[in-house]
Every structure is written in C-alpha cells, then in structure tokens.
C-alpha cells in the first residue's frame, strides 16, 4: 500500500509540471451573474455539450484585498507563545517531514514557520485537500444554478460511459459523490492503475457496483474526480477555470499548480499544489461562513451543510464525514478539517475563531501530524479573561 502511495505522486509529476499555468488577474473585475436558488431550478432536459477546452475562458474576478494578513504576538490573540514555539521546536526531530506550520486566529497570523529551506512562496502538493476545494466549487455551482440539486444523477453527463456500465450507476447522484457513498468497488491499490489509465473517467464507470448507492462510505479519489468532470460538462469550464472565476480569483489565489487528466479534466480529488497562506485563506473563508471581506463566495448554508456529519466515515481519518470534509462533532471544542495524504491539514475550530494549517512531505501517510493540533495548538489557547 505504501509503495503504491509513493508511486502516485511520481506519476503525476510530469502532468503537474506541464499544467502549472497561473491565472491572470485583469484590472477590471467581471461581476458574476445573480445566483439562482436551486429550489426553483427547472428540470434539465438537455445537457450542454462537453467542452473541456472552451475557446473563451472568463478571466478570474480579482481580489481587491491585500494578499497578507496582519501578524501579532500570540498573546495578543489569546494564545500561549511558549507552546507554539515548543511545537516548532519539536518538528526537526519528531516531525522531520513537516514543511510548514501556520496558526491563524482573529484574522491575524500568530505563528508561521517553514522548514527545509521553504518560504511563504513555496507550493505544497496537498493531495486530498483538493477534495474539500471541489466541495466548495460544487456548492457554488448549485447556488448559481450551474447544477440542479444534490439529487441530480450523474449518468446523463456521461451517456457513453453510463450506457456500458452497471445499471446501478444510473442511481448515483451528486450527493453520493460528495458523501463518498457511490457504491462502486474501490481500494487504493487501484490508484496506480486509475491514475495511469488513458481515460480515468471511463475506468471509474467500469468499476463494479458492490453496494447500493448511498449505503456505505468508501473513501476514494475517482468519485471526486467525477465531480470535476460533471462541473466541466455542465459549465464548459474546467474546474480550475471555474475556481479562477468564482473562488481563487476573489480570494486572491494566483500561485498554484493544478494538473489535468488526459481528457483535460482538472484533478478533482488530489494533486493540487498551493501556498500555505493560500490554504489558510481557504480555511478562513469557511471559518467566516463562506464570506470574504463581505463578499459571499460560498453560500453560508453550503458551508454549514458540507461540514455536518452525513456518514459515519472511516478510513483514513476514522472520523465522521460531511461533503468532502472530515468532521469532529464530539470533540471539545467541535472542529472540522480538510486532509490530504502525507499529513496535510486545514483544521478549523469555529468556536475559537482559529485555523491551523500543516503541510508535509507526501512520502507516507504521516497521520501523526494531526497530533500537533491536540498537543500544542489547542492547549495554546488561553482562557478568556
């Protein structure tokens, strides 16, 4: 298993290097159209034609706000600097695979460290944190009316693939993909074959259905990659282009790498590379209920819905699962987080107004990284005066 995980990032390296185009921020923002409530959307009878490479890609809406937050001493934001410094000091010997740490509270950076010669401008391959970003984009698409509803079947987006698939694929909906309860057979030992297949979407539709859609959680990347393909077939934009226009552009995220599969679909479930502060931007967006400087980028009800428990979850975090977010409803205080192979985390604690970001090497799972939150970050929060 570990060997397979080691090989996957290598297979994507050439793709990553060839697709590191960075979005261009225009001088004049393009206002988005008014959103259409999903509850009143008409039934879609004819799907728009697939358009993986549209002839015209709308420019991203730029962020008018500074790219950096203020910084302060931890004590000024109610945190113990000694514990945070102890966390940083533990990294070289106990967590030598850590690449960066950032703690953000009350809209202020209170702790930020980089290792291995990296800096704030370094990109980090964040693996399945990509899934949580895909969740946000699906929420935006539903709100704008680019997708109908959570109960929308996915098969009509892929008529050729679905026609040759198990008939139960006809019952898989957007909700099932977001919950990772699609029902098709999957083990991560297949990831090498899937990622190297000339048509990963077709490969997924050839998988056998082993449980009724909606019944059982099964963590997998292909299900989320189907969401990227659905988004492209519904809008004519790749997921990257859609993010540039509706998420990354407004957030001011311009430096990243997002590889595509052979069909041109952005990798929806893994492989995105971002800077640490941009991961914190995304975490801050969710901390503030999808609002960024007064602009509602992700609907607040989607933030709440996607970070609630929808399935008991399981491997690899062994926690409940929302819509492509891990959820800890019973911890004190409650939290939720995005996670990626190698120990990448965006950890959000709403009641403490706190976000912690960890990036790490992708040479092994490094599940131990989350212990830094429990051992240092949470204890560093000082009692309210």
All structural domains of the chain, each given as residue ranges with its CATH number in brackets, are 66-380 (3.40.710.10)
How confident is the model at residue 21, as a pLDDT? Answer: 37
Q: For residue range 207-247, what is the model confidence (pLDDT) as tens digits? A: 999 999 999 999 999 999 999 999 999 999 999 999 999 99
Name the nearest CA neighbour of 166 among 185, 189, 181, 192: 185
How confident is the model at residue 69, as a pLDDT? Answer: 78
Name the nearest CA neighbour of 346 among 334, 332, 358: 358
pLDDT, the chain, mean: 86
How confident is the model at residue 67, as a pLDDT? Answer: 53
In the numeric block, which tokens belong to residue 385? 């005066």
How far apart CA 378 and CA 195 sit, in angstroms, is 37
Kindly state the average pLDDT of the residues 332-342. 96
- How much is the pTM? 0.83
Task: With cut-offs at 50, 70 and 90, classify the pLDDT of residue 192.
Answer: confident
Q: For residue range 92-133, what is the model confidence (pLDDT) as tens digits? A: 999 999 999 999 999 999 999 999 999 999 999 999 999 999
Q: Please tell me whether residue 249 adopts helix, strand or coil conformation.
A: helix
Q: What is the DSSP string of 122-179?
A: -EEE-TTHHHHHHHHHHHHHHHHTSS--TT-BSGGG-HHHHHTS-GGGGG-BHHHHHH
Q: Where are the alpha helices (DSSP H) in the chain?
A: 2-18, 81-94, 129-144, 159-163, 174-179, 191-196, 200-205, 221-235, 239-243, 249-251, 276-287, 300-306, 371-372, 378-380
Higher pLDDT: 47 or 286? It is: 286
Kindly state the average pLDDT of the residues 337-366. 97
Q: For residue range 35-86, what is the model confidence (pLDDT) as tens digits? A: 333 332 323 333 333 333 332 333 444 444 545 679 999 999 999 999 999 9
How confident is the model at residue 384, as a pLDDT? Answer: 81
In the numeric block, which tokens belong to residue 101? 């740490």
Neighbours of 4 (CB within 10 A): 15
How far apart CA 50 and CA 35 sit, in angstroms, is 23
Neighbours of 94 (CB within 10 A): 12
How confident is the model at residue 191, as a pLDDT? Answer: 85
Kindly state the average pLDDT of the residues 187-215. 93
Is the Cβ–Cβ distance between 99 and 120 less than 8 Å? no
How confident is the model at residue 4, as a pLDDT? Answer: 39
């Amino acid at each position: 298993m570990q060997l397979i995980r080691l090989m996957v990032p290598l297979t994507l390296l050439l793709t990553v290097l060839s697709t590191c185009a960075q979005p261009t921020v225009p001088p004049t923002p393009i206002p988005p159209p008014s959103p259409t409530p999903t509850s009143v959307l008409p039934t879609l009878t004819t799907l728009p034609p697939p358009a993986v490479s549209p002839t015209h890609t709308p420019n991203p809406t730029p962020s008018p706000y500074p790219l950096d937050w203020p910084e302060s001493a931890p004590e000024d934001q109610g945190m113990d600097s000694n514990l945070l410094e102890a966390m940083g000091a533990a990294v070289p010997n106990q967590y030598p695979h850590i690449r960066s740490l950032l703690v953000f509270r009350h809209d202020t950076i209170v702790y930020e460290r980089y290792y291995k010669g990296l800096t704030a401008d370094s990109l980090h391959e964040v693996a399945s944190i990509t899934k949580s970003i895909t969740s946000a984009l699906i929420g935006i698409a539903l709100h704008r009316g680019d997708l109908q509803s959570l109960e929308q079947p996915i098969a009509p987006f892929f008529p050729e693939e679905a026609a040759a698939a198990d008939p139960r694929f006809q019952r898989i909906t957007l909700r099932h993909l977001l919950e990772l309860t699609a029902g098709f057979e999957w083990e991560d030992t297949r990831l090498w074959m899937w990622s190297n297949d000339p048509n990963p979407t077709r490969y997924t539709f050839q998988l056998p259905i082993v449980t009724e859609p909606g019944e059982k959680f099964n963590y997998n990347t292909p299900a989320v990659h189907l969401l990227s393909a659905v988004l492209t077939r519904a809008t004519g934009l790749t997921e990257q282009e859609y993010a540039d226009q509706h998420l990354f552009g407004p957030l001011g995220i311009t430096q990243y790498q997002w590889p595509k599969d052979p069909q041109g679909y952005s990798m929806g479930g893994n492989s995105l590379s971002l800077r640490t502060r941009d991961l914190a931007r995304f975490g801050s967006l969710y901390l503030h209920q999808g609002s960024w400087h007064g602009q509602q980028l992700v609907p607040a009800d989607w933030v709440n819905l996607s970070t609630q428990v929808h399935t008991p979850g399981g491997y690899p975090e062994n926690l409940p699962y929302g819509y492509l977010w891990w959820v800890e409803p019973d911890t004190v205080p409650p939290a939720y987080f995005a996670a990626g192979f190698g120990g990448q985390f965006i950890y959000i604690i709403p009641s403490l107004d706190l976000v912690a970001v960890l990036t790490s090497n992708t040479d092994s799972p490094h599940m131990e990284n989350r212990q830094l939150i429990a051992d240092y970050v949470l204890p560093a929060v000082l009692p309210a005066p």
